[in-house]
Structure 1
Amino acid sequence: MFQNNPLLAQLKQELHQQTPRIEGTVRAHEKGFGFLDVDNKTSYFITANKMKTVCNGDKVSGTVIENGDKKVFEPESLIESPLQRFIGKIGFQERSMVIYPENMPANLAIRCKINKQVQEKLKEDDWVVATLISHPLEEGKNNFLAEITHFIAENSSIYLPWLKTLARYNLEDNSPQPDTLTINEKELTDRQDLTDINFFTIDSEYTEDMDDAISVSKDEQGNYQLKVAIADPTAYILQDSQLDKIAKQRSFTTYLPDFNIPMLPIELANDLCSLKENQKRPALVCDINIDANGIIDESSITFMPAFIESKAKLSYNNVSDFLENNDELLSNNATLPEQLNLLSSLAKTRTIWRQNNALVFKDSNDYRFVLDENRHVKSVNKESRRIASQIVEEVMIIANQALTMQLNNKIGFGIFNTHSGFDIKFIDQILKVLSNHGIEGFDKESLLSFDGYIKLRRIIDNDEFLTARLRKCQSPADFSIQPQPHFGLGLNAYATWTSPIRKYGDMVNHRLIKNYLRSQPLNEPDKEQLKIMNERRKLLRYAERDIAENLYIQYLSDKIGDSFVAEIVDINRGGARLRLTDIGAFVFLPLSMIHPVRDEVVSSPEEGVIRINNDICYKLSDTLNIKIHQVKKESQSIIVKLVTDK
């Protein structure tokens, strides 16, 4: 009687349209049911049956149905899914291939088909990249369906964590493959022969892509005469060539722990352009004079295409041991002891100059994973910055300042590294923090100015709490075509050219300088390139963070109960984020592990403190003794608790 009744259908449609709809994000539970999180305080239950139409992280809209005293959410339409492009593991159900997406509940198995470009015969547990082509909430679709577009690795591969990380961020997993690599003919005709100069390199023992070499002397007036030679891959790579387009897209060499993917072909990066000992190489060389006070003589700056021959490959550790402990230098080049002592003196002079005229960041430790033959973490070495690292850093800053002066005065554009200081949205918060700590004399305008930023940095640099407190208020680094200030370095402008093997922006600046010297057309860099570089830099940081977290999870998984010293680096509503000072791992200390009575412990992220019974007990930059409590592989998190005397 009621079947196919148009009035009834119309009534149902009207009731459906009148039912309020809400939007939120799906949060799946491992037991099959789930929740719709509307905000931090509101969530609604989703039945296991309805969860078959959504996945964890889906942003959806739908209705809330009241069932007695319970409110149940029914998803109706998809707004956005995290599974647009994803990686996962191959499985089989009733002889049909499925893919289990990473970071999803184990019961989510998506039917899949294979792109023709994926030639590998896939088997169970292989890891692949896939794109979602069908979602149950999409109109006219009933099931999840994905297309496999790329094979990552077998589950047994010792490189799996690295390859998965690269695939996750759509980063290349191999170096470019060129057809031929020969130096361009015009690059042979106007290069000075500087192979008789005693250049040398300082790098780690493991470095193959050596892109900078140094030579230094001192004149009778006490001025340092510095020569910096930088490898010149643009001698091989023509602008807008296929190889240039590849480098432009990659923008940077990918550096992951014990796993690097060159921006340029490995034959160039590690051989033909690398400034190897006793090998003639094309380079762009800069002559710079620096006086006894560390001031660069701008009129002395000279750039020239050249051929050089490094006379020695020195390591950071050996140079530091020589300068700090008078150990034997592992080279028989007679000029090196004097040159290294001059460089040590120059670095100290320049550090003082930067302290007075720019800004100097405090030295931080580096951490290096030591892997066994199966690429499992054996140990993590803390490597403090010693004098050799400081020397190379100061020399590269001098060279980059010299380039910046040339671009400013001779060309007018280039690729500049910029930093605008504090993010404007945090200014009111910063003023409040400064007032609470008795720091006066600043207002919104001064905090956003170059001079005001430098003034404040010099005031707070020795206050570890305030430095940590304001670190999150910084704006991100950026790139520009015209010169702009770099607040973080305390310099009015800053462009780099010292790593062209590893950074495409440095290649661009090389070409500009060489074209200027050769009276060739000067083309302003493409603004689109800046966007590519920014996006790639962001992805590389994510990738480096992810693989480090993976390796730390692996390393600490059998160290439950072990004690460490840690520094508080961030405070949020749930507790404190710490860094283990000996190995560099980031861990989390929940409020429940700080004090047993939840109502008596309160975190104040805006103040950077944790209170117990209204008393400040912990704050940013505090050092704590903790022990590993739990290692959660599925969420890549390490939970710690305080070491107590009890």
Structure 2
Amino acid sequence: MAKRINPNPGPAALPSREQIVAFIAASTENVGKREIAAAFNIKGADRIGLKRILKEIEMDGAIARGRGGLAPSGRLPPVVLADITARDRDGEFLANPAEWDVGNGPAPRITVAAPRGAKRPGQPAPGIGDRVLLRVEASPAEPGRYTGRVIKTLGKNKSEIIGVYRAGPEGGRIIPVEKRAQGREIAIPAGEEGEARDGDLVSVVLQRESQFGLPQGRVRERLGALGSEKAVSLIALHLHHIPHVFAAATLAEADAAEPVGLAGREDWRDAPLLTIDPPDAKDHDDAVMAVPDPDPTNAGGFVVTVAIADVAAYVRTGSALDREALMRGNSVYFPDRVVPMLPERISNDLCSLREAEDRPALAIRMVIGADGVKRRHSVHRVMIRSRAKLSYAQAQGAIDGAPDAATAPLLEPALRPLWAAYAALRQARDARGPLALDLPERKVVLTADGAVDRVVVPARLDAHRLIEEFMILANVAAAETLEQARQPLIYRVHDEPALEKMRALGEVLASIGIKLPKESALRPALFNRILASVAETEHATFINEVVLRSQAQAVYAAQNLGHFGLNLRRYAHFTSPIRRYADLIVHRALIAACRLGNDGLSSEVTVAALDQIGEQISAAERRAMAAERETIDRLIAHHLADRVGATFTGQISGVTRSGLFIKLDETGADGFVPISTIGADYYRHDEAKHALVGERSGETHRLGDRVEVRLVEAAAVAGALRFELLSEGRARPDRGGATAPRGRNPVRKPGTPGRPAGIRTGTRHRGSRR
């Protein structure tokens, strides 16, 4: 309620304009005509005169009308609807008022302060792109600046749309980049295009919806030029609000960083450590070695060492580098670019374990038995000098009998011991029984100008599995060390599948004649038995993907829930601090717990604070995965745009009441067949059978069926493909006829968009999604 003052208690003449403006300015909330009339004791016919004066003052721009009444022009009300648009250099969210008249000048900037006290259960953490209700206070020192506290997160801003601007003679049009907005262009009247030029990626605010004609909007911001396929990842960056330009303070800190010395470190520069990475890797954050254990009580055992880049030595808590790394959460990998978590001076230079160069590292030395079970381990802060930089194919080729000039000298002293240790670890892995999914990971290969050349499935080598097992072993050792020291940390947790997902899995298995066993406790072994039963059948890939989709999503948390997929009681990410903030936290925790320096995790950091960081970086990871996946969709759609009319083979990968999703064999891309275009029958969605069934004919199209389709439309900007179904469905059993063979594609929830679920941008993540 407005603060009531009564400057004129008697029935006198109307107040002056200056008195009214002063009253509105002194009020603690927006006020209306009723409050003004009561304050100045204006009654009866005099209210008409007050209305006229208020209209004149508003037209002159001295006051503005907003939610809840009138306020001085340029001032926000105490409670405002706002859109979170960015972060500042300190990592604080920045917001703009959702409703602001540009005639009042530039919109005020609101810094969104951290919420007081504990977050309410079920209240989502706000993020960039969210619309929020804020309680704001004006800054006394900076006019036009406000501090706001979140009252409620309302979800994503639906009125702001990202799209491609197409210029026209009388204005322009926006082609939205989201699949759900396809076919819904937005008209941009002349003069509302701002600085946008034809083909630019822009942010648009809807100004008017209409039942007739196109909705109208205004270009809010020019985001960049989409001159080639090489810039297609720009769409995902802006659509998902992924920070991709480092702040000046962050770059200045990175540029000023000097190489750390040997002081306070063990000298391991003579150790035969080496890196094994993808051939196009630019940063190398892990080096490995293995030697037979000389201890006679551990015959056949090994000493395995994993040395990880010591990022904590350069990225100090609270620094600009640290704040921006937390804001980004992780590096994001696209086929045409990498958006790193840390500037190149740190990620590709000072912290990258380059061949024959001194680099600081945090190392875990682990003693394993001949059975691959870890007996003990120790943590060390060291200086190393990598003996060699090898690719997976190079290392594998040497072991397979084809060493090259780089690997031949390393074969006996380094590579054979690594493979022998891996053979022991594989025994332990088999005994532990982690989830044994076998899904091909497709990789998009681009030409020099950024166009899609081909989609390939890279060979899965023992060299990949070796590095993966070494990293898992080190991650477990890190978590154990911190637990024993009672040091708070961020775990990588993976809960068991939810009951409703298990029911859905049972329905899918029943459709191909497999009964889901009922067990009192869920274990990965249950799923492994299912996978083994279909391993040599046509259903193998299909069931692998169905099992994958039944699993919970792995997240970061300060409370340990274990890792269901790996079948491990405790697990933390330690091995990739260059590209994951969680690993940097674990490094700092180890430095503190093992007393390895003064740059460890502060003793004042609470479990609640780490849990909040875990939520933030889990959201950043989901954001990165969506952006990577959607960029692949757009590249594939662009690649297929000149093949409209061509026929393809694939499998039904999803069944909804709206139609069928089809995954193509050739590229792994997904597209949609609208139900209205299927045959001449009326089709009904049978959820239990995951099928569309013709009411008259009984013809059935089921999940996993192999089909032939014709490409009807390829919307490159949205990454959407539309198909026409050429194959006949399964005949009704009582009518006889051939039955189409079943396939091996994944189940989708009704209403979810099609996408190339199995495509990844390479093996650089090394199980980072686990």
Normalization by structure 1: what TM-score? 0.75
Equivalent position SS for 2:642: coil
Within 5 Å, give how 1:339-488 maps onto structure 2: 339-429=414-504, 439=515, 442=518, 446=520, 449=521, 452-462=522-532, 463=534, 464=540, 466-488=543-565
Range that drifts further, 390-399 or 468-477: 468-477
- Identity score, percent: 24
Alignment-derived partner of residue 69 in structure 1: none
Which amino acid is the alignment partner of residue 598 of structure 1?
D
Within 5 Å, give how 1:259-278 maps onto structure 2: 259-278=337-356
Alignment-derived partner of residue 397 in structure 2: 321
Range that drifts further, 167-176 or 421-430: 421-430
How far apart are the structure 2 equivalents of 1:438 and 1:367?
Answer: 28
Matched, 1:205 2:317: no
Alignment-derived partner of residue 329 in structure 2: 251
How far apart are the structure 2 equivalents of 1:597 and 1:105?
Answer: 28
How far apart are the structure 1 equivalents of 2:676 and 2:710?
Answer: 14
Cα separation, partners in 2 of 1:286 and 1:470, compared to 1, 3 Å: closer
Equivalent position SS for 1:557: helix
Which of 629, 640, 657 lines up with 1:573 in the alignment? 657
Alignment-derived partner of residue 126 in structure 2: none
Which amino acid is the alignment partner of residue 233 of structure 2?
W
Question: What is the CA distance between 1:440 and its match in structure 2?
Answer: 6.7
Alignment-derived partner of residue 15 in structure 1: none
Cα separation, partners in 2 of 1:552 and 1:155, compared to 1, 3 Å: closer
Alignment-derived partner of residue 99 in structure 2: none
Cα separation, partners in 2 of 1:434 and 1:480, compared to 1, 3 Å: same
Alignment-derived partner of residue 721 in structure 2: 638
Question: What is the CA distance between 1:625 and its match in structure 2?
Answer: 5.6
How far apart are the structure 2 equivalents of 1:483 and 1:81?
Answer: 31
Matched, 1:527 2:605: no
Matched, 1:556 2:640: yes
Alignment-derived partner of residue 48 in structure 2: none
Post-superposition Cα deviations, 1:325-372, rounded to whole Å, max 9, x if no partner, equal x11234157334453233333334333422331314334323232323
Alignment-derived partner of residue 245 in structure 2: 174
Which of 537, 547, 556 lines up with 2:631 in the alignment? 547
Structure 2's unaligned 5+ residue stretches are 1-153, 535-539, 729-770
Cα separation, partners in 2 of 1:586 and 1:240, compared to 1, 3 Å: same
Which amino acid is the alignment partner of residue 530 of structure 2?
I
How far apart are the structure 1 equivalents of 2:481 and 2:155?
Answer: 48
Which of 108, 117, 134 lines up with 2:187 in the alignment? 108
How far apart are the structure 1 equivalents of 2:156 and 2:555?
Answer: 30
RMSD: 3.5
Question: What is the CA distance between 1:511 and its match in structure 2?
Answer: 0.3
How far apart are the structure 2 equivalents of 1:504 and 1:289?
Answer: 28
Within 5 Å, give how 1:79-90 maps onto structure 2: 83-90=158-165
Which amino acid is the alignment partner of residue 160 of structure 1?
A
Which amino acid is the alignment partner of residue 424 of structure 1?
L
Question: What is the CA distance between 1:214 and its match in structure 2?
Answer: 0.6
Which of 497, 503, 513 lines up with 2:580 in the alignment? 503
How far apart are the structure 1 equivalents of 2:275 and 2:648?
Answer: 37
Alignment-derived partner of residue 13 in structure 1: none
Cα separation, partners in 2 of 1:633 and 1:158, compared to 1, 3 Å: closer
Cα separation, partners in 2 of 1:227 and 1:471, compared to 1, 3 Å: closer
Contact 2:287 2:386 in 1 (8 A): yes
Matched, 1:607 2:678: no
How far apart are the structure 2 equivalents of 1:459 and 1:530?
Answer: 33
Range that drifts further, 229-238 or 85-94: 85-94
Contact 1:175 1:261 in 2 (8 A): no
Within 5 Å, give how 1:61-140 maps onto structure 2: 83-90=158-165, 102=177, 103=181, 105-106=184-185, 108-109=187-188, 122-131=196-205
Contact 2:309 2:359 in 1 (8 A): yes
Structure 1's unaligned 5+ residue stretches are 1-78, 116-120, 138-142
Question: What is the CA distance between 1:563 and its match in structure 2?
Answer: 5.3
Contact 2:443 2:458 in 1 (8 A): yes
Contact 1:419 1:478 in 2 (8 A): yes
Which amino acid is the alignment partner of residue 399 of structure 1?
A
Question: What is the CA distance between 1:490 and its match in structure 2?
Answer: 1.5
Cα separation, partners in 2 of 1:341 and 1:640, compared to 1, 3 Å: farther
Normalization by structure 2: what TM-score? 0.64
Cα separation, partners in 2 of 1:518 and 1:183, compared to 1, 3 Å: farther
Question: What is the CA distance between 1:307 and its match in structure 2?
Answer: 0.9
Question: What is the CA distance between 1:390 and its match in structure 2?
Answer: 1.2
Range that drifts further, 275-284 or 556-565: 556-565
Equivalent position SS for 2:202: strand
Count residues with an aligned counterpart. 544
Post-superposition Cα deviations, 1:405-459, rounded to whole Å, max 9, x if no partner, equal 112222353111112121234455556667885647626xx3xx4xx23242132
Post-superposition Cα deviations, 1:347-401, rounded to whole Å, max 9, x if no partner, equal 3433342233131433432323232333121222221312211111111111111
Alignment-derived partner of residue 379 in structure 2: 303
Matched, 1:312 2:388: yes
Which amino acid is the alignment partner of residue 377 of structure 2?
I
